[in-house]
Structure 1
Amino acid sequence: MNFGDFYYPLPANEKQLDYAPGSPEREALKQAISTFKNKKIDVPMYIGAEEIYTNKKLEIRPPHETAHLLGHFNEGDANHVKKAINAALKAKDKWANTSWENRANIFLKIAELISTKYRFQVMAATMLGQSKTAHQAEIDCTCELIDFLRFNVHYVSEIYRQQPISVPGINNRVEYRPLEGFVLAVTPFNFTAIAGNLPTSAAMCGNVVIWKPAYPQVYSAQLLMKIFKEAGLPNGVINLIYADGPVLGEVCFNHPDFAGLHFTGSTGVFRTMWQTIGTNIGNYKTFPRIVGETGGKDFVLAHKSADVDVLVTALVRGAFEYQGQKCSAASRAYIPSNLAAEVKKKLVAQIKTITIGTIEDFSNFMGAVITEASFNKIESYIKGARKKDSKAKVIVGGKCDKTNGYFIEPTVIETTDPYYITMCDELFGPVLTMYVYDENKFEDTLKLVDSTSQYALTGAIIAKDRYAVELATNKLRNSAGNFYINDKPTGAVVGQQPFGGARASGTNDKAGSILNLYRWLSARTVKEIFNSPTDYRYPFMQSEE
């Protein structure tokens, strides 16, 4: 029963802590890291009210310290996926009928718990499990996730207030129902915030969710699930499972109650999922909502008027923060010939000062890439650029060492071929490829930037010339869903820069905005008339006599 129109105003973004030497947050974070490292955990799946352990236990090790064992998690099979779906559907009606204020306040409490009680634990889990520095973890698993939760509550509140007009004698209203079935949330390793947002945004709208995180992110995912439960999220609303992708898809995409997919991951996997859903479309009770944020081959385009220091900083931060493992990371750069020599000189000099190693040493700018498979893939591209017959050369970095962790130096490749493989392929690592273009062929280069990649996630223009900025903004309108002027192409903030791209980069449903929330709601229009007609005849039908 509703007793009022409970509205949640626009929140402020969570304040970032800086973890400077001597600060209380630095000491608290170091203590949390130490505590986690000294305790091995056995991570269950969370299905309904149960914590489920299996006979198949997989190791959790820090990518930057592979000799250390953090614990194990319990992998499930098809029967566990089916059990999770049943638990979700059992919880569905009661959750969907829970009042908005009681749903909303659960997620606001989750945000508050992360902001206060669990801030350093979530930070420590993300740093250890995903090899993030303190700064990268702070902007991800605390600030961004807290913002997702608080802003999404506001956005849903805004949606519920959007109502049609009524005229004398008629009342019209719109009900925003959850989807008819369950939502599958498949989340990536690289952002704890995304892992938390994909299941909670759908659940906030009254849906029930099956949540499958990437295995390298399980260490922080299980902590989020504990926080969800502590905040009062009812059993079965979000079910956390660990199952192989094809096994998960075989069960979920063949179930008649499959109603939606909230996905962040590779373009190839997303295409396969979409194709499977399309093949099975006749089996579902309703047309599923498909939302995906996938790959990127993100660019930085410099004009001949660019400030070299601004450009170099944008390249270093954009390409190498979090080891280049952001969907938005700068991975191809177009440098005008008049600036090339100075840019290369300053870029190489800055990169040589970058320190790499364990995230427990707060002086390090970079940690390790996430897995050995990722390490091997990136290393192969670097080796390819070093071949004598290559159209490219490594101008700085390139060292790869997995003796103690999956460490790859920040690497810049220069190519004479704008279609060289590392200008086109998504590497998802600390590798930037640079192409020098004729400074007087800026418009031709705009066409090159637009046509080189299948992706369209993020991009940046660096220029002092405002006409160049305007030209690039217009010509590259469909080249990036998030476009940056005189800044790196990373670091979107909830409520400020809604995030997402099109083309092969996804459905551009803009996480961190009201647009994304509409996808998890199904509207019903209700019309009530107060003076109902009692005769089928209309006035125009009356005789003129």
Structure 2
Amino acid sequence: MAGESQLWIQGEWVEASRLVPLENPYTGEVIAQVGYASVDQAKAAIESARRTFEDFRHVPAWERAHILRSVAELIADRAGELAETIARESGKPLKAARGEVERTVQTYLFAAEAARDIRGESVPMDAAPHGERHTAYTVHQPMGVVTAITPFNFPMNLVAHKVGPAIAAGNTIVLKPAEHTPLSALVLAKLFKDAGLPDGVLNIIPGDGKELSEVLTTHPDVAFVTFTGSPRVGKLIRAQAGLRKVTLELGSNSPMLVDAGFDEGELNKIADETAAGAFSYNGQVCISIQRIYVHRSLYDRFTAMVAERAQRLKIGNPLDEDTDISALINQEAVDRLSSWVKNAVDTGAKVVTGDKIDGRVMHPTVLTDVPENAELSQEEAFGPVVLIAPFDDWRDAIRRANNSKFGLNAGAFTKNIDHALLATQELHTGAVLINQVPTFRVDQMPYGGVKESGTGREGVRYAMYDMMDVKMVAFRSGAFS
């Protein structure tokens, strides 16, 4: 791919400070030599974006919308090729990669629609003494340079969730993609160029996160920082960013509750959705189902159903059409998960299925009797592992679901309206999904968490408004009479 060994700054390919080999997670073969930016090159990208902002902030909304719609069409035209790029560099099975490209198209279309519909509100000034004879309203204005640091697991769509809203708002962007998946981001350079985006609005600088995070969060020209990744790095970014606005999409260990009262057919359907929600892309999804609490009357049957579906999943090369499970992103992830499963088993957990490693592939694993203080109960697995436990009381199930430092999405299956309402009120998460798995997400919904799952919200329109300043404007009538 043209440009994979270079940086994209001010609408041109720029020689990188060094080259780093990029491996296919499944085969281990080197698929590219990726150019990494130095700190000085990151500064140059930020300063280029700042200069460009002075003009781009005046580009009308319809024109920004047209660019975003055009890039969505260009991505759709190259969907097959782009899905293969995702599969090669991330190890994501091809059918899941195709789904990601389809969602990416939708995300940019939502951004185009949002750009056309930026609106403020009137302010009733005469509601307070001395406010009479004033007419006031708010306007939303772009902030400036947005720095975006993105993860490996959705290398096109999570980039779109940062780049799309930034452009819709009238900002400029410096994008640092994940070290494992830079190719899916670099391809955007030509796509946005062909869509008519002015040079310097989007700058793409692969690089080492440890080396570049400080300049990307502290440079005086940076107005807004958006990051998706680990809580550890999120806390560092928050500390570095100072008074800048920051959106942090961090970790999770999503809980799901299954109440009593479901018949066999209904339980089978929930089990189908559970297997998809727990094991899609090898569980490397922020809202992958990790902890399941099932009413004791259904516990044995449901556990067997989920285990049987886990055993059915096809393991193989991500480029094979029928592959469901492939390699984890790197050996470190394999070693960590293997250690956590061993620790859980050593302290009383039972393996229903899985707990097998082939190279970098971890077979889908279902565990029961996992202690609540085990890593797999408390931390984010980010792999194909799900824990199942019984409960007798709905309130106790909610309490156990909340026993986590994370709070992104939670799912609750119930036919009892009182139980459903109680879950919406008491589950301490950014989203509560009734009769839906917590892995569910559509790209226009507000998405974000509480506690160590982060701050701020994505979902195109919500992110766009976060990336804008609110200005209050007031006119006084009769000031000189």
Report the TM-score, using the length of structure 2 for normalisation: 0.92
**Pair 143,162 (structure 1): closer, same or farther in 2 beyond 3 Å:** farther
Shift of 1:356: 0.9
Give the structure 1 partner of residue 463 of structure 2.
516
Amino acid at match of 1:509: R
Query: Over aligned residue pairs, what C-alpha RMSD do you find?
Result: 2.3
Give the structure 2 partner of residue 344 of structure 1.
303
Give the structure 1 partner of residue 129 of structure 2.
none
Give the structure 1 partner of residue 168 of structure 2.
204
Kindly provide the CA deviation profile for residues 358-408 of structure 1, in whole angstroms up to 9, marking residues without a partner as x. 122211212221122212211221232343xx2212210111121xxx211
Out of 356, 360, 368, the residue aligned to residue 399 of structure 1 is 356
Give the structure 1 partner of residue 474 of structure 2.
527
Alignment check: 8 A CA contact 1:300 1:488 kept: yes
Kindly provide the CA deviation profile for residues 463-505 of structure 1, in whole angstroms up to 9, marking residues without a partner as x. 23333223322221xx22222222221131123x332222211
Out of 426, 441, 454, the residue aligned to residue 492 of structure 1 is 441
Output aligned runs, 1:123-142, within 5 Å.
123-140=83-100, 142=101
Helix, strand or coil: the match of 2:439?
A: coil
**Pair 41,398 (structure 1): closer, same or farther in 2 beyond 3 Å:** farther
Alignment check: 8 A CA contact 2:150 2:158 kept: yes
Give the structure 1 partner of residue 55 of structure 2.
94
Shift of 1:162: 4.5
Report which stretch shifted further, 309-318 or 230-239.
309-318
Amino acid at match of 1:490: T
Listed as ranges, the gaps of 5+ residues in structure 1 are 1-38, 279-286, 535-545
Kindly provide the CA deviation profile for residues 187-208 of structure 1, in whole angstroms up to 9, marking residues without a partner as x. 1111120112212311321112
Out of 480, 487, 490, the residue aligned to residue 429 of structure 2 is 480
**Pair 363,92 (structure 1): closer, same or farther in 2 beyond 3 Å:** same
**Pair 528,468 (structure 1): closer, same or farther in 2 beyond 3 Å:** closer
Whose radius of gyration is greater, 1 or 2?
1
Shift of 1:252: 3.1
Helix, strand or coil: the match of 2:297?
A: coil
Q: Following the alignment from structure 2 to structure 1, what is the Cα–Cα distance between the partners of residues 308 and 139? A: 59
Q: Following the alignment from structure 2 to structure 1, what is the Cα–Cα distance between the partners of residues 240 and 287? A: 27
Out of 446, 452, 470, the residue aligned to residue 504 of structure 1 is 452
- Identical-residue share of aligned pairs (%): 25
Shift of 1:347: 2.1
Listed as ranges, the gaps of 5+ residues in structure 2 are 127-131
Amino acid at match of 2:107: F
Helix, strand or coil: the match of 1:217?
A: coil
Give the structure 2 partner of residue 471 of structure 1.
422
Shift of 1:50: 2.8
Q: Following the alignment from structure 1 to structure 2, what is the Cα–Cα distance between the partners of residues 273 and 314? A: 35
Helix, strand or coil: the match of 2:412?
A: strand
Shift of 1:454: 0.8
Q: Following the alignment from structure 1 to structure 2, what is the Cα–Cα distance between the partners of residues 445 and 533? A: 66
Out of 17, 42, 46, the residue aligned to residue 85 of structure 1 is 46
Amino acid at match of 2:441: A
**Pair 530,340 (structure 1): closer, same or farther in 2 beyond 3 Å:** closer
Q: Following the alignment from structure 2 to structure 1, what is the Cα–Cα distance between the partners of residues 118 and 17? A: 45
Report which stretch shifted further, 260-269 or 48-57.
48-57
Give the structure 1 partner of residue 104 of structure 2.
145
Q: Following the alignment from structure 2 to structure 1, what is the Cα–Cα distance between the partners of residues 372 and 261? A: 21
Alignment check: 8 A CA contact 1:385 1:394 kept: no
**Pair 49,364 (structure 1): closer, same or farther in 2 beyond 3 Å:** closer
Amino acid at match of 1:448: R
Alignment check: 8 A CA contact 2:256 2:401 kept: no
Amino acid at match of 1:400: I
> Within the alignment, does 1:432 sit opposite 2:386 as a pair?
yes
Helix, strand or coil: the match of 1:447?
A: helix
The alignment covers a number of residue pairs equal to 472
Give the structure 2 partner of residue 182 of structure 1.
145
Out of 84, 95, 110, the residue aligned to residue 71 of structure 2 is 110
Q: Following the alignment from structure 2 to structure 1, what is the Cα–Cα distance between the partners of residues 10 and 22? A: 24
Helix, strand or coil: the match of 1:317?
A: helix
Helix, strand or coil: the match of 2:218?
A: coil
Report the TM-score, using the length of structure 1 for normalisation: 0.81
Amino acid at match of 1:264: T
**Pair 81,347 (structure 1): closer, same or farther in 2 beyond 3 Å:** same
> Within the alignment, does 1:193 sit opposite 2:147 as a pair?
no
> Within the alignment, does 1:329 sit opposite 2:277 as a pair?
no
Output aligned runs, 1:2-17, within 5 Å.
none
Alignment check: 8 A CA contact 1:397 1:410 kept: yes
Out of 382, 397, 419, the residue aligned to residue 373 of structure 2 is 419
Q: Following the alignment from structure 1 to structure 2, what is the Cα–Cα distance between the partners of residues 177 and 473? A: 34
Shift of 1:301: 1.1
